[in-house]
Structure 1
Amino acid sequence: MSVGVLAPADSAGAQLAAQLGLPLLDAAPATGHYLVWERERLALAEVGEKARVEVDLIEGAQAHRRKFGGGRGQPVAKAVGLKSGNTPTVLDATAGLGRDAFVLATLGCTVHLLERNAVACALLADGLRRGLTDPDIALIVSRMRLEHHDARQWLPEQGQPASYDVVYLDPMFPEPDKRARAKKDMHAFQSLIGGDADADVLLAPARKIARQRVVVKRPRTAPWLAGVKPDFSFDGESTRFDAYLPLRDA
């Protein structure tokens, strides 16, 4: 079922709806989820719920992480190999809301983002649009390029040699219900989008186009992607980053 966008016809929200093939609504639906244009930004709403999901790269949690998150000492930065003399180019093939991609761009990486879900892509595109207007982060956001593609089809179509040092995969993993409900945005997203049960097919083609490594973000106790043991891993507080070396055709 397609999610509609409640927005004035002349708004940036309506433009995003047209670009992503989402229907424009005249009124909120009676049930379910919808995108709404309010306060000059796009947000995901659920009928009967006050919480809204939006991508805010300027303030809030993303701003705090940008200023106080630990820089190159963060597990995600170590996982992609960010260090003195190596600032890798990154393909984030499952961009979601772009949180880790923004961290990597903050640390100097150029990041190409792919997102297959039109709702997530619309929210992220709107967040990037607003970020480009903010003098504090405009340079960071300029390092991020978002495209609406399904990585399952996109990755195998890429030829060699590869164009990216690192391919980053963060497939949505179903969270325990209590935890998901405590994180309103995660609950809204999971109830709308669900988990990426088909993510196993991404690993092999990703390893064929990465120059340095593929990094897969997983909950700490989750199984390896596609059942393949990583070459090495980096642990965070609640997540781990499994790293795989490239594969090349003989």
Structure 2
Amino acid sequence: MPKLPLITISCTASSDTILQKARALAKKLGLDFCDKKQCRNRYILTYTDEHLELGVNEQLENCKEKHSPLFVDFIHGNAGYRHARNCTIKQPLARAVGIKSGFRPDIFDATAGLGGDGFVLACLGSNVILNERSPIIGALLEDAMQRGLQAQNATSEVIQKRMTLLLGDAKENIKHLTSPPYTVYLDPMYPHSKKSALNKKEMRMIRDIVGDDDDSEELLETALRYAGNRVVVKRPKGAERLNSKNPSHVIEMKNSRFDVYMINHL
């Protein structure tokens, strides 16, 4: 399990049930549980009446910036919009992973993060295994999936039938799958850049929690050994290839690209 940053679990809800969930999660992750007003760590993982969220402890004297809490929501917001408006097999992501008319590949999303791309692929009809190695981000994902299942709508059906969450090192988890995934999808942490979205407050928080993907080149090599048909790597526009390895083909977008490695062509 990755080394966790200085983080505390808290709870602002009055419900005894949610309070018990917060204490159980603290025990599971090996983190301290405390009243939010007494927390002295930089980050606080908080159960509210609505969801589990990750926030910056703004009570600290050295914390001068305002930060919106980070949580995952597959029903509303960006995920809900993408589900309602952008579920087409003609989009670059779908073409990159091998989705086409009459065919929906099984996909191993090795760097699930906040689950946005994995959710879209599941909405398009693929069975998706989301792998997240950060226990903190994994907890946010698990909370979002549980809330999505309770919605009793199209989102709950997508999550129940086509999304599976695995926690831990993707390089190890992929070795123990019952069958090779048709596509392995990698979206490693983008390199530092003045123009990168990672300079947004919430993305800086994610980098603090997750760290840099220093093993992304090793992960690519493992993916190439275990993928059934292809490995897809999402990269920023202009970024160098992982391992300086030339892909079979590239799908370009405005600010990023998909490097596609076809197994039979390597």
Fold similarity call, TM over 0.5: yes
Instruction: Tell me if the contact between 1:232 and 1:244 (Cα under 8 Å) persists in the aligned partners.
Output: yes
The alignment partner of 1:95 has SS state of coil
The alignment partner of 1:206 has SS state of helix
Q: What CA deviation, in whole Å up to 9, does each residue of 1:122-159 have, x standing for no partner? A: 1111111111111231011111111111123334x348
Find the counterpart in structure 1 of residue 9 from structure 2: 5
Task: Report whether the alignment pairs 1:196 with 2:213.
Answer: yes
Find the counterpart in structure 2 of residue 26 from structure 1: 35
Instruction: Report the Cα distance in structure 1 between the residues aligned to 2:198 and 2:207, rounded to whole angstroms.
Output: 10
The alignment partner of 2:240 has SS state of coil
Give the TM-score normalised by the residue count of structure 1.
0.89
Where does 1:1-250 land on structure 2 (aligned, <5 Å)? 1-7=5-11, 10-11=17-18, 12-27=21-36, 29-48=39-58, 49-69=66-86, 71-134=88-151, 135-142=153-160, 143-155=162-174, 157-158=175-176, 162-177=179-194, 179-180=196-197, 183-246=200-263
Q: Partner letter of residue 187 of structure 2?
A: D
Instruction: Report the Cα distance in structure 1 between the residues aligned to 2:89 and 2:43, rounded to whole angstroms.
Output: 37
Q: Partner letter of residue 42 of structure 2?
A: G
CA distance 1:90–1:22, change in 2 (3 Å): farther
The alignment partner of 1:73 has SS state of coil
1:185 is displaced (CA, Å) by 2.2
Instruction: Report the Cα distance in structure 1 between the residues aligned to 2:73 and 2:22, rounded to whole angstroms.
Output: 15
Give every structure 1 segment of 4 or more consecutive aligned residues whose post-TM-superposition deviation is greater than 6 Å.
none
1:98 is displaced (CA, Å) by 0.5
The alignment partner of 1:127 has SS state of helix
Instruction: Tell me if the contact between 1:162 and 1:210 (Cα under 8 Å) persists in the aligned partners.
Output: no
Instruction: Report the Cα distance in structure 2 between the residues aligned to 1:165 and 1:22, rounded to whole angstroms.
Output: 37
Instruction: Tell me if the contact between 1:2 and 1:22 (Cα under 8 Å) persists in the aligned partners.
Output: no
1:214 is displaced (CA, Å) by 0.6
Instruction: Report the Cα distance in structure 2 between the residues aligned to 1:225 and 1:181, rounded to whole angstroms.
Output: 19
Q: What CA deviation, in whole Å up to 9, does each residue of 1:199-228 have, x standing for no partner? A: 110111111111110111111111111221
Q: Partner letter of residue 29 of structure 1?
A: C
Q: Partner letter of residue 33 of structure 1?
A: Y
Q: Partner letter of residue 147 of structure 1?
A: L
Identity between Structure 1 and Structure 2 (%): 36
Instruction: Report the Cα distance in structure 2 between the residues aligned to 1:144 and 1:164, rounded to whole angstroms.
Output: 14
Larger of the two Rg values belongs to structure: 2
After the TM superposition, which of the residue ranges 118-127 and 184-193 deviates more from structure 2? 184-193
Instruction: Report the Cα distance in structure 2 between the residues aligned to 1:110 and 1:181, rounded to whole angstroms.
Output: 29
Could you tell me which runs of 5 or more consecutive residues in structure 2 were left unpaired when the two chains were aligned. Answer: 59-65
Q: Partner letter of residue 185 of structure 2?
A: Y
Instruction: Report the Cα distance in structure 2 between the residues aligned to 1:239 and 1:181, rounded to whole angstroms.
Output: 14
The alignment partner of 1:138 has SS state of helix
The alignment partner of 1:164 has SS state of coil
After the TM superposition, which of the residue ranges 207-216 and 182-191 deviates more from structure 2? 182-191
Could you tell me which runs of 5 or more consecutive residues in structure 1 were left unpaired when the two chains were aligned. Answer: none
Q: Partner letter of residue 136 of structure 2?
A: V
Instruction: Report the Cα distance in structure 1 between the residues aligned to 2:200 and 2:49, rounded to whole angstroms.
Output: 22
Q: What CA deviation, in whole Å up to 9, does each residue of 1:40-69 have, x standing for no partner? A: 311110122341100011101111111112
Instruction: Report the Cα distance in structure 2 between the residues aligned to 1:174 and 1:17, rounded to whole angstroms.
Output: 31
The two structures, once aligned, show a CA RMSD in angstroms of 2.3
Instruction: Report the Cα distance in structure 2 between the residues aligned to 1:246 and 1:4, rounded to whole angstroms.
Output: 43
Instruction: Report the Cα distance in structure 2 between the residues aligned to 1:220 and 1:244, rounded to whole angstroms.
Output: 17
